[in-house]
Structure 1
Amino acid sequence: MTSFARNQWYVAAYGAEIGRELFGRTVCGEPILLWRTEAGEVTAMAGRCVHRRFPLSEKPSRLDGDRVVCGYHGFTYGADGVCVSVPGQQRVPRTARLASYAVKEQDSFVWVWIGDREAADESRIPRAPWLNSPAYTVVCGMEPLAARYGLLVDNLLDLSHETYLHGGYIGTPEVAETPIATEVDEGAGIVRVSRHMDDAACPPFYSESTGIDGRISRRQDIEYHAPCLYLLHSRIAPTGTPGPDADGTDPHAFHVEVVYAITPETENTTHDFWAVARDFALDDQKVSDFLAENNRTVVLQDVVALDTLEQVIAREPEGTQELSINIDTGGLAARRILARLLAESAATPAAQPTR
């Protein structure tokens, strides 16, 4: 049985990755072909030719207007995935069509619906509006993870590991020492984990980017929208700085919105999309370069740890127990929600992503 929840939206790419070149990415075990039509719209279809399964993202496959031409035998497909031409005959077999996917470009991401296309509801896509807001400057990237996506969910919902794994970058002793508050909306599939530190050391990630010299008030407010999107609302200000004003504005602090799209590639590999949006030093390229380099370093530290953990789990006997403590409350709630989504997916009859 697959470990992917279907009838869900997943991030397949950044919008900037998709153009007039055929682009392939595997999502939930399904090879998907993405490209932009001449009108600029993103389209998504199955990534293997129906004839001999040649990957359509590989050269010499190509676009001819808004048609995809397989580089192996020339099978040609329209933007809807229907084959319109085959070599050596006029009649096109009725079954010569590729599955097409519901797709939505939003907040710099390209989302694809994995499951029954008739059930695709764009209103269910969680938002990350900072990623294309003029009030923020964004750095972003994507790292391949040789580990199951649930391990990354666990990792991101327990930020106490920053103290130990990311010391010298974003971790300080206060992160591990400060208790968390957890809220769970089972119906909506959202887990919230908050950690507020009134007097904490300022890690280099923030001291170098904001110019703060001294101790800080630091808030980490997490929202995890199962199965794919993780948001970390980070507020940083010198200790003793006033809080938000009565109208909800917060001019006395620096704000960083950290976004992760956690997309399963296969049972044991994951696409780790990351982005850091800030509301300060908007035009300072040195700050952008610093945050991009340092956040990628932090992400790669997680990658190394989780790749190692995946290998350990793969060698352990089935049913090996683990110990959980208070800091795991959010991660355990996320596991319950993912298990429910998976059970609901398994109970739903299999459906093709195209009509």
Structure 2
Amino acid sequence: MTAFARNQWYVAAYGREVGRELLGRTILDEAIVFYRTEGEGDGAAGTVVALADRCVHRRYPLSASRLDGDRVVCGYHGFTYDTTGTCVSVPGQKRVPRTARVTAYPVVERDSLVWVWIGDPALADDTAVPRAPHLADTARWTTVGGMEPIDCDYGLLVDNLLDLSHETYLHGGYIGTPEVADTPMTTEVDEGAGVVRVSRHMDDAACPPFYARSTGIEGRITRWQDIEYHAPCLYLLHSRIAPRGVLPNPDGSDPNAFHVEITYAITPSTGRHVYDFWAVSRDFGLGDEEMSAFLHDFNREVVMQDVDALNLLQKTLESEPAGYQELSINIDTGGLAARRILARLAEQGARPAGATAAGLPAGAR
């Protein structure tokens, strides 16, 4: 099982999912309830709150409870919590026990995503949240998306997304063509930043149905795929599609191509469950509802092909004898780099604050 990288930001929900209804999600084995405060009036949206999803009294799920203003009232015995997780009221007595509080998690809402910090709250730095600005830039991009839970180790989803050669075989007739598997790729790894970049540029490729129907291009295409994986959670695929031979201008402008940003947030729920947040953003056909419906439904079919494959793979791996061996080749370079980074982040998150890999306080020699 891929070890959890704690002391990291993870996507918990789309901003549109969090409102005045209590939303329960399990992230890195921690049950969390999310809701939005009432706001300041004039229709202004409130801020997102994340609390441990268990009442301190008898462990009743707070996500199955109710809101009273900005306070959560446990649906079992009425223990009431404010936005900091402090219990402010208990039934049958005026004195609230000093230890009656639940964990409040740091939260950032950015680029239409709700990020939650799992780990030491003193280390939460909201400037470290990776960006996906196209998700919120409605003037330049139109976005569709969704979320699918997968019954697999989250590391399997990371492997899947960093090796797009599987498009040829698993997604043929949707987004896959022979050129995806046949074209060599380049891989760059920034170990310190925890970023893996994988690029595959196809200058003469068949146009798969996903792009033929949305762009209207007939014939063969130039198709570029440039991946950025920001460990542990955010995956960005910058996709460029143009008629064969059409390249960007020398000044970098690219008016004769179609651009699609594919975004995945890979959030571990438990050791064998992962939330697969996905979104498709385009810079053409802006506001075209028929195109949006097509891209949403078509891409969800692609996502579900991955879901089915990874569910099967997880079951298969669990039936394998201990010590089974994998065989890796060039197409696995990005995925193997991501595994190294995730292992390092998990190991760092398991140390006490200020400790180093050697077990000495930071700065000690």
Q: Which range, TM-score by smaller chain?
A: over 0.9
Residue 154 of structure 1 pairs with residue 156 of structure 2: no
Alignment partner of 2:325: what SS? coil
Task: Flag structure 1 segments of 5+ consecutive residues without an equivalent.
Answer: 351-355
Shift of 1:2: 8.4
Alignment counterpart, residue 276 of structure 1, candidates 271, 277, 280: 280
Alignment of 1:1-355 (within 5 A): 3-39=3-39, 40-58=46-64, 61-133=65-137, 134-241=139-246, 243-348=247-352
1: CA distance, partners of 2:14 / 2:179? 34
Runs of 4+ in 1 over 4 A off after TM superposition: none
Aligned residues of 2:2 and 2:155 also touching (Cα < 8 A): no
1: CA distance, partners of 2:352 / 2:285? 49
Aligned residues of 2:34 and 2:48 also touching (Cα < 8 A): yes
Shift of 1:71: 0.5
2: CA distance, partners of 1:200 / 1:246? 23
2: CA distance, partners of 1:65 / 1:141? 29
2: CA distance, partners of 1:249 / 1:112? 36
TM-score by length of 1: 0.96
Alignment partner of 1:159: what SS? coil
Percent of aligned pairs with the same amino acid: 70
Task: Flag structure 2 segments of 5+ consecutive residues without an equivalent.
Answer: 40-45, 355-365
Alignment partner of 1:304: what SS? helix
Shift of 1:318: 2.4
TM-score by length of 2: 0.93
2: CA distance, partners of 1:13 / 1:82? 24
1: CA distance, partners of 2:217 / 2:211? 7
Shift of 1:34: 0.5
Q: In the comparison of the two structures, how many residue pairs are matched? A: 347
Shift of 1:343: 1.1
Amino acid aligned to 1:246: P
1: CA distance, partners of 2:29 / 2:323? 25
Amino acid aligned to 1:175: V
Alignment partner of 2:210: what SS? helix
2: CA distance, partners of 1:48 / 1:2? 26
Residue 353 of structure 1 is matched in structure 2 by none
Alignment partner of 2:63: what SS? coil
Shift of 1:348: 2.8
Deviations 1:115-162, CA, capped at 9 Å, x for gaps: 011100011111001101120000000001000100000000000000
Residue 361 of structure 2 is matched in structure 1 by none
Shift of 1:240: 1.3
Q: Please tell me the root mean square deviation across aligned C-alpha atoms, in Å.
A: 1.2
Alignment partner of 1:35: what SS? strand
2: CA distance, partners of 1:175 / 1:246? 26
Alignment partner of 1:187: what SS? coil
Shift of 1:86: 0.4
Alignment partner of 1:171: what SS? coil
Shift of 1:244: 2.1
Shift of 1:349: 5.7
1: CA distance, partners of 2:10 / 2:48? 15
2: CA distance, partners of 1:262 / 1:282? 27
2: CA distance, partners of 1:18 / 1:268? 25
Aligned residues of 2:81 and 2:101 also touching (Cα < 8 A): yes
2: CA distance, partners of 1:126 / 1:186? 16
2: CA distance, partners of 1:244 / 1:124? 32
Deviates more, 1:327-336 or 1:245-254: 245-254
Aligned residues of 2:106 and 2:121 also touching (Cα < 8 A): yes
